[in-house]
C-alpha cells in the first residue's frame, strides 16, 4: 500500500501551511484536495487581510494564496488535485478517489484540514434558482468573472456577508439591502461602514419572509422580527431582486474525524461539531491532527498559523523534531495566534454586547445597527482629531487585531502600540505630508486624509476607492455621507494610484468646508449636478443605493 | 451582460478560448475550461434541472460542488455537477428532469412531468 | 435517551410544507411528524425519511434537520448525536467505488 509520513486532507490555507512546516522538518508529505486548484477559499478573497505584518496584514487573500503555493512547491510538498478523500479509517488509512480510480493510502500521521461548509436558512422559495450562498457569489465573480446577479439582497451581516456585499459592488452589482435577524451587525464595523457609505441600507432585526418567482428569483420580501424571531405583521418590505445571497455562517466539515473515531464535541462557539483537540491540533486518536476551520470557525489568518503549529506537532509525533525545538517554534506561533484572537470579535467575546472599547471609548450603536458612525460620534475616537492642514482621520472604532497603518506612516503620525487591537491614535504634533500610505494600507478602508485648509471655502477629503471606472481630476459628482446619502457637489481634485497601494486608489475630492468631516464617498456623474441638487437635503434614511461602477445615474 | 469585463482588483478575467456547446439542442458559447455553470449563467440560463418529486426548478446554489443542485445531463450522463465540470468544445448539456434529460437529444421537450 | 418521555402530540404548523432536504425533497412537516412517530435520533430520521441521503449527502440540510428535531424534542441541538459518518463522504458512482486500484 502507498504510504506517506503525513497525509494532509485539504489544500486550503491551513492544510498547505501544515504541509509546508512538516515538509521543512523532513517529512514525506502528500496533500489531497477535491478541487481542481489548490488554495481553498483564499483565491476568492480579494480584500486586504487584517492583523500585523507577521500575519500578512494588508495583503489581499489571493496574493497570500499565491505566496503559499510557491512556499509549498519550494518545500517539496506534493499536492494531488481532483483527489477526493472519501473515508478515513482506523490505523490512519485514507480512501481517496483520484479521477475514476479508488486508492487506499496509509499515513503515519494524518492532518485533516477540510475547512467548513456554508450554513443555509430555509424560507419559502429558498430552493429557487437565484438564491445562492455567499461562497457561490464569491466563486462566480472572483474566480470566474461572472456577476452573480444584477440586483442582490444579502442575508447575513457577519464578516462574510459584509465582505461579499462590498465585492458585489466592486463586480458591478447593485446591493439593494443587507439584512440580518440579529439586532446587531455581526462583522467588523469597518467592513459595514465601507458598504454603508456606498448607499446600501442595513436592515437589522429583519429576516426573509419569502423569495418570489416561478422559475427563478424575481423578488424578495423581508420583515422585522420580534424577540422570539417571529415576523411582526405589517413590517414586510418588498424588493425587486434577481439574486438572494445567504451568508449565515459556516459549519466545520468534520465528518472524516467522526468516522476516524476521534472524540467530538458540539461547540456552538466553534460553529458546530468539532474534534476535541489540544493546542497543537492533536486529536484523541494518536497521529491524527486537525487545523483550521474544521476545528473551529475562525479567519484564514488564524487557520494558517494553526496549520503551521499542527505541521510541526505532526513532525514531532513522528520523531522528526526534538521536543525542545518543537516547543520553541510552537510557542512563537501560539503567541502570534493569540494576538489574532484578541479584541471585541475574539472567539471568547462572541455574543457579548460590549459597550466600551479597551480604551474606554463608547462603542457606536449606530455602527452596530445601521453600519455607519454618526457625524457626532466620530469625534469620540483617538484617530479623529481636528488638526490644521492635511492629516489622517482614522474612523477605526472597534478593537480588532490590525496595525498596518502604524507602519505605513513614514512620519509617525499614527500609533497603535504593542497591543495590535488598540485603536489607532493620531498624534497631533507629527507632521502629516499627505502621502496617503495610511489610506491605502488600511484593510478596513477606514482612513481618510482631510485638509480643511485646502482653499478659502473648500476642504479636500482623500478616500480609498476600489471601483471602476476610476474618476479623474476635474470630474464632477456628488459627495456621499457615511450612510451613503447625497451631501453636496464634489469635484475630483486628484487620483493617485501606485503599486504600493495595491489597487486601492486614493481619490481626493474637493467639498465645501462644512462637509470636510461628513463627506466619505464619491459618486461620479455625467453631465451637470442640477437634477441632484434637490436630493442634497433628503433625510439619510431615504438614500438612493449606489449602483456600483457599471451604471452611473 | 453578466461577464465582468474589467475588475477593479483582479483586472480582466483570464479565460480560455471561446468554444461552442449545445444547451437543450441550441448552440451556445462559453470559455473552454470554465465550469459549465458559468457559461450558462453568463448566457442567462438560471434553471439547471427540475426535481423528481415536486418538479421544482433548481440552479446554482453553492457553486463549489457541495450541494449538487446544479446537476445536469452532460454528454448523456445525468447528475453531473456543472459548477465543477470544465466546459469543452462540443459538449451536450441538457436540463435534467428527475434523473433524465428534459429535452431528449434531437427530440421534442417533454411536459416536465415525466 | 428516555424514550418514554412525553413530547406531546404533533401540532400542524404553518410552514410544514417548507422544503428542508433539497435533494430528497423532504419537508419540515414530514420531519416533525417523524419525530412524533418515534424517530428521535438523527440516524433514525435519516433512515426513515432519507433526509441527507441524497446526492449532496447532507451537506446542505443536516444542521437544519438537527434544529427541527431538537425543537420538536424540546432539547438543545448540541445534545443530539450526529448521524453516522461513513465512506463515501462524497457522491461516488458504484462503478468507481467497486473498481479499486489493485496493489502492484
pLDDT tens figures, A286-329: 999 999 999 999 999 999 999 999 999 999 999 999 988 899 99
Q: Is residue A500, in this structure, part of any structural domain at all?
A: yes
* CA–CA min distance C30, chain B (Å): 14
3-state secondary structure C3-38: CCCCCCCCCCCCCCCCEEECCCCEEHHHHHHHHHCC
- Domain of residue C72 covers 19-97
Q: Is residue A126, in this structure, part of any structural domain at all?
A: yes
Q: Is A139 on the interface with B (CB under 8 A)?
A: yes
Q: Is residue A325, in this structure, part of any structural domain at all?
A: yes
- Among B9, B35, B60, whose Cβ lies nearest the Cβ of A170? B9
Query: pLDDT band for position A546 (50/70/90)?
Result: very low
Please say if the pLDDT value at position A470 is more than 50: yes
Q: Which of A308, A340, A372 is where one domain is finished?
A: A340
Tell whether A13 and A80 lie within a shared domain.
Answer: yes
CA distances from A497 to A61, A494, A502, A504, C27 (A): 20, 10, 8, 7, 54
Amino acid A535: pLDDT: 63
Interface touch A100/C99, C-beta < 8 Å: yes
Mutate to test the interface with A, among C56, C66, C89 (most CBs of A within 10 A): C89
Q: Is residue C8, in this structure, part of any structural domain at all?
A: no
B touches which chains (3+ CB pairs under 8 A)?
A, C
State which residue of chain B sits closest to C62, comparing Cα positions: B67
A346-397 tens-digit pLDDT: 988 888 889 999 999 999 999 999 999 999 999 999 999 989 999 999 999 9
Cell numbers given for A461: 477629503
Is B58:B70 a contact under the CB 8 Å cutoff? yes
DSSP A408-440: H-TT--EE--SSTTSPPEE-TTS------HHHH
* Separation between Cα atoms, residue A409 and residue B114, nearest integer Å: 68
Mutate to test the interface with A, among C85, C95, C96, C100 (most CBs of A within 10 A): C85
Tell whether A129 and A102 lie within a shared domain.
Answer: no
Please say if the pLDDT value at position A458 is more than 60: yes
ipTM of the complex: 0.95
Q: Is B18 on the interface with A (CB under 8 A)?
A: no
Please say if the pLDDT value at position A472 is more than 60: yes
List CB contacts of B78: < 8 A, sequence separation 6 or more.
B71, B72, B96, B99, B100, B101
Beta strands A425-426; A414-415: pairing state: antiparallel
Cα A302–Cα A447–Cα A473 angle in degrees, nearest 5: 130
E strand spans, A187-257: 202-204, 206-212, 219-224, 237-239, 243-246, 250-252
- Among C63, C64, C92, whose Cβ lies nearest the Cβ of A86? C92
Interface touch B52/C25, C-beta < 8 Å: yes
Q: B18-101 has which fold?
A: Ubiquitin-like (UB roll) (3.10.20)
Mutate to test the interface with C, among B50, B68, B79 (most CBs of C within 10 A): B68
C99 CB neighbours in chain A (<8 A) are: 100-102
B61 CB neighbours in chain C (<8 A) are: 22, 60
What is the mean pLDDT of the segment spanning A524-550? 53
Query: pLDDT band for position A119 (50/70/90)?
Result: very high
**Number of domains within chain C:** 1
Query: pLDDT band for position A109 (50/70/90)?
Result: very high
* CA–CA min distance A103, chain C (Å): 6
Q: Is A13 on the interface with C (CB under 8 A)?
A: no
Please say if the pLDDT value at position A529 is more than 90: no
Q: Is residue C1, in this structure, part of any structural domain at all?
A: no
A127-155 tens-digit pLDDT: 999 999 999 999 999 999 999 999 999 99
Please say if the pLDDT value at position A211 is more than 80: yes
Query: pLDDT band for position A530 (50/70/90)?
Result: low
CA distances from A280 to A171, A468, A552, B11, C86 (A): 39, 44, 52, 40, 26
Tell whether A111 and A169 lie within a shared domain.
Answer: no
Query: pLDDT band for position A538 (50/70/90)?
Result: very low
Query: pLDDT band for position A1 (50/70/90)?
Result: confident
State which residue of chain B sits closest to A501, comparing Cα positions: B9
Residue C24 — φ and ψ, nearest 5°? Answer: -95, 0
Q: Is B44 on the interface with A (CB under 8 A)?
A: no
Q: Is A431 on the interface with C (CB under 8 A)?
A: no
Q: Is A12 on the interface with B (CB under 8 A)?
A: no
Helix H or strand E encompassing A18: helix A13-24
Q: Is residue C4, in this structure, part of any structural domain at all?
A: no
We report the CATH number of the domain holding residue A288 as 3.50.50.60
User: How big is chain B by its Cα radius of gyration, in Å?
Assistant: 14
A7-57 tens-digit pLDDT: 999 999 999 999 999 999 999 999 999 999 999 999 999 999 999 999 999
Query: pLDDT band for position A541 (50/70/90)?
Result: very low
Q: Is B58 on the interface with C (CB under 8 A)?
A: yes
Tell whether A130 and A12 lie within a shared domain.
Answer: no
Tell whether A164 and A60 lie within a shared domain.
Answer: no
Q: Is residue A442, in this structure, part of any structural domain at all?
A: no
SS3 category, B71: strand
* CA–CA min distance C72, chain A (Å): 16
Amino acid A459: pLDDT: 97
A119 CB neighbours in chain C (<8 A) are: 63
Q: Is B88 on the interface with C (CB under 8 A)?
A: no
More reliable by pLDDT, A80 or B111 = A80
Please say if the pLDDT value at position A208 is more than 50: yes
Tell whether A229 and A124 lie within a shared domain.
Answer: yes
Amino acid A352: pLDDT: 87
E strand spans, chain B: 18-23, 26-31, 49-50, 57-58, 71-74, 77-81, 92-94, 96-97, 100-101
With the C-alpha atoms ordered A500, A501, A502, A505, is the resulting torsion angle positive or negative? negative
C23 CB neighbours in chain B (<8 A) are: 68
Is B54:C25 a contact under the CB 8 Å cutoff? yes
* Separation between Cα atoms, residue B18 and residue B33, nearest integer Å: 10
Burial (CB count within 10 angstroms: exposed 0-12, middle 13-18, buried 19+), residue C1: exposed
Please say if the pLDDT value at position C101 is more than 80: no
* Separation between Cα atoms, residue A27 and residue A76, nearest integer Å: 10
Helix H or strand E encompassing A61: helix A61-74
Q: Which of A286, A314, A340 is where one domain is finished?
A: A340
State which residue of chain A sits closest to B57, comparing Cα positions: A215
What is the mean pLDDT of the segment spanning A103-124? 97
Q: Is residue C3, in this structure, part of any structural domain at all?
A: no
DSSP β-bridge partners for residue B73: B94
**Number of domains within chain A:** 3
Please say if the pLDDT value at position A406 is more than 90: yes
Amino acid A453: pLDDT: 92
Q: Is residue A431, in this structure, part of any structural domain at all?
A: no
Averaged confidence pLDDT in chain C? 92
Query: pLDDT band for position C100 (50/70/90)?
Result: confident
Query: pLDDT band for position A531 (50/70/90)?
Result: low
Q: Is A26 on the interface with C (CB under 8 A)?
A: no
Tell whether A203 and A219 lie within a shared domain.
Answer: yes
Matching residue, cell 467522526: A258
Residue B11 — φ and ψ, nearest 5°? Answer: 75, -150
Averaged confidence pLDDT in chain A? 94
Please say if the pLDDT value at position B76 is more than 90: yes
- Among B54, B62, B68, whose Cβ lies nearest the Cβ of C55? B68
Tell whether A135 and A191 lie within a shared domain.
Answer: yes
Residue A228 — φ and ψ, nearest 5°? Answer: -100, 25
We report the CATH number of the domain holding residue C64 as 1.10.10.1100
State which residue of chain A sits closest to C79, comparing Cα positions: A266
A429-454 tens-digit pLDDT: 999 999 999 999 999 999 999 999 99
SS3 category, A8: strand
A222-260 tens-digit pLDDT: 999 999 999 999 999 999 999 999 999 999 999 999 999
Please say if the pLDDT value at position A65 is more than 90: yes
Amino acid A517: pLDDT: 97
Q: Which of A220, A248, A276 is where one domain is finished?
A: A248
Q: Is residue C62, in this structure, part of any structural domain at all?
A: yes
Tell whether A79 and A222 lie within a shared domain.
Answer: no
Amino acid B112: pLDDT: 44
* CA–CA min distance C94, chain B (Å): 14
- Domain of residue A540 covers 470-514+522-553
Tell whether A553 and A484 lie within a shared domain.
Answer: yes
* CA–CA min distance B108, chain A (Å): 20
Amino acid C83: pLDDT: 87
Amino acid at each position: 500500500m502507498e504510504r506517506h509520513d503525513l497525509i494532509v486532507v485539504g489544500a486550503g490555507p491551513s492544510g498547505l501551511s501544515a504541509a509546508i512546516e512538516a515538509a521543512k522538518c523532513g517529512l514525506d508529505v502528500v496533500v489531497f484536495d477535491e478541487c481542481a486548484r489548490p488554495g481553498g477559499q483564499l483565491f476568492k478573497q480579494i480584500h486586504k487581510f487584517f492583523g500585523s505584518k507577521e500575519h500578512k496584514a494588508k495583503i489581499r487573500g489571493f496574493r497570500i494564496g499565491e505566496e503559499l503555493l510557491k512556499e509549498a512547491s519550494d518545500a517539496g510538498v506534493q499536492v494531488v488535485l481532483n483527489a477526493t478523500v472519501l473515508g478515513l479509517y482506523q490505523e490512519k488509512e485514507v480512501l481517496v478517489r483520484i479521477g475514476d480510480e479508488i486508492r487506499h493510502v496509509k499515513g503515519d500521521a494524518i492532518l485533516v484540514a477540510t475547512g467548513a461548509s456554508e450554513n443555509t436558512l430555509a424560507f419559502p422559495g429558498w430552493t429557487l434558482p437565484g438564491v445562492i450562498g455567499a461562497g457561490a457569489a464569491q466563486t462566480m465573480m472572483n474566480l470566474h468573472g461572472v456577476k452573480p446577479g444584477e440586483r442582490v439582497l444579502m442575508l447575513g451581516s457577519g464578516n462574510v456577508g459584509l465582505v461579499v456585499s462590498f465585492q458585489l459592488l466592486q463586480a458591478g452589482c447593485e446591493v439593494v439591502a443587507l439584512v440580518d435577524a440579529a439586532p446587531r451587525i455581526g462583522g467588523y464595523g469597518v467592513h459595514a461602514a465601507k458598504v454603508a457609505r456606498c448607499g446600501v441600507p442595513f436592515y437589522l432585526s429583519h429576516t426573509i419572509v419569502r423569495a418570489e418567482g416561478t422559475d427563478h428569483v424575481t423578488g424578495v420580501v423581508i420583515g422585522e422580527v420580534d424577540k422570539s424571531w417571529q415576523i411582526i405583521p405589517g413590517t414586510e418590505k418588498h424588493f425587486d431582486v434577481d439574486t438572494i445571497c445567504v451568508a449565515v455562517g459556516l459549519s466545520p466539515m468534520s465528518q472524516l474525524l467522526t468516522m476516524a473515531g476521534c472524540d467530538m464535541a458540539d461547540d456552538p462557539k466553534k460553529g458546530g461539531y468539532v474534534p476535541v483537540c489540544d493546542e497543537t491540533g492533536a486529536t484523541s486518536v494518536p497521529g491524527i491532527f486537525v487545523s483550521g476551520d474544521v476545528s473551529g470557525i475562525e479567519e484564514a489568518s488564524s487557520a494558517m498559523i494553526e496549520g503551521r503549529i499542527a505541521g510541526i506537532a505532526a513532525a514531532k509525533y513522528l520523531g522528526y523534531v526534538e521536543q525542545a525545538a518543537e516547543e520553541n517554534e510552537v510557542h512563537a506561533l501560539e503567541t502570534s495566534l493569540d494576538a489574532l484572537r484578541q479584541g471585541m470579535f475574539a472567539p471568547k467575546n462572541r455574543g457579548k454586547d460590549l459597550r466600551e472599547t479597551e480604551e474606554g471609548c463608547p462603542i457606536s450603536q449606530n455602527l452596530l445597527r445601521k453600519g455607519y458612525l454618526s457625524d457626532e460620534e466620530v469625534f469620540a475616537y483617538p484617530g479623529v482629531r481636528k488638526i490644521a492642514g492635511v492629516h489622517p482621520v482614522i474612523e477605526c472604532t472597534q478593537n480588532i487585531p490590525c496595525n498596518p497603518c502604524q507602519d505605513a506612516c513614514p512620519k509617525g503620525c499614527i500609533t497603535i502600540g504593542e497591543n495590535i487591537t488598540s485603536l489607532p491614535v493620531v498624534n497631533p504634533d507629527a507632521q502629516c505630508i499627505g502621502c496617503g500610505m495610511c489610506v491605502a494600507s488600511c484593510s478596513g478602508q477606514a482612513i481618510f486624509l482631510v485638509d480643511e485648509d485646502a482653499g478659502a471655502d473648500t476642504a479636500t477629503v482623500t478616500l480609498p476607492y476600489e471601483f471602476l471606472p476610476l474618476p479623474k481630476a476635474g470630474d464632477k459628482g456628488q459627495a456621499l455621507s457615511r450612510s451613503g446619502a447625497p451631501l453636496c457637489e464634489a469635484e475630483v481634485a486628484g487620483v493617485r494610484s501606485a503599486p504600493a497601494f495595491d489597487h486601492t486608489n486614493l481619490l481626493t475630492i474637493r467639498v465645501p468646508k462644512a462637509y470636510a468631516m461628513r463627506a466619505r464617498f464619491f459618486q461620479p456623474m455625467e453631465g451637470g449636478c442640477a437634477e441632484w441638487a434637490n436630493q442634497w437635503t433628503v433625510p439619510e434614511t431615504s438614500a438612493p443605493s449606489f449602483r456600483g461602477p457599471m451604471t452611473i445615474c | 451582460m453578466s461577464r465582468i469585463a474589467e475588475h477593479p482588483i483582479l483586472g480582466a478575467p483570464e479565460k480560455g478560448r471561446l468554444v461552442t456547446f449545445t444547451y437543450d439542442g441550441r448552440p451556445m458559447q462559453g470559455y473552454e475550461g470554465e465550469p459549465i455553470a458559468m457559461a450558462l449563467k453568463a448566457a442567462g440560463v438560471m434553471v439547471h434541472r427540475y426535481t423528481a418529486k415536486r418538479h421544482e426548478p433548481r440552479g446554482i446554489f453553492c457553486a463549489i460542488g457541495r450541494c449538487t443542485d446544479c446537476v445536469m445531463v452532460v454528454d448523456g450522463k445525468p447528475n453531473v455537477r456543472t459548477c465543477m465540470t470544465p466546459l469543452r468544445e462540443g459538449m451536450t448539456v441538457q436540463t435534467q428532469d428527475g434523473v433524465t434529460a428534459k429535452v431528449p437529444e434531437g427530440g421534442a421537450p417533454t411536459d416536465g412531468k415525466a | 435517551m428516555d424514550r418514554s418521555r412525553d413530547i406531546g402530540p404533533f401540532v400542524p404548523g404553518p410552514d410544514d410544507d417548507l422544503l428542508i432536504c433539497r435533494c430528497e425533497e423532504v419537508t419540515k412537516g414530514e420531519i416533525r411528524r417523524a419525530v412524533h412517530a418515534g424517530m428521535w435520533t438523527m440516524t433514525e430520521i435519516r433512515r426513515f425519511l432519507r433526509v441527507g441521503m441524497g446526492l449532496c449527502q447532507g451537506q446542505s440540510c443536516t444542521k437544519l434537520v438537527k434544529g427541527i428535531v431538537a425543537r420538536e424534542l424540546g432539547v438543545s441541538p448540541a445534545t443530539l448525536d450526529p448521524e453516522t459518518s461513513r465512506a463515501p463522504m462524497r457522491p461516488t458512482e458504484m462503478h468507481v467505488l467497486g473498481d479499486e486500484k489493485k496493489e502492484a
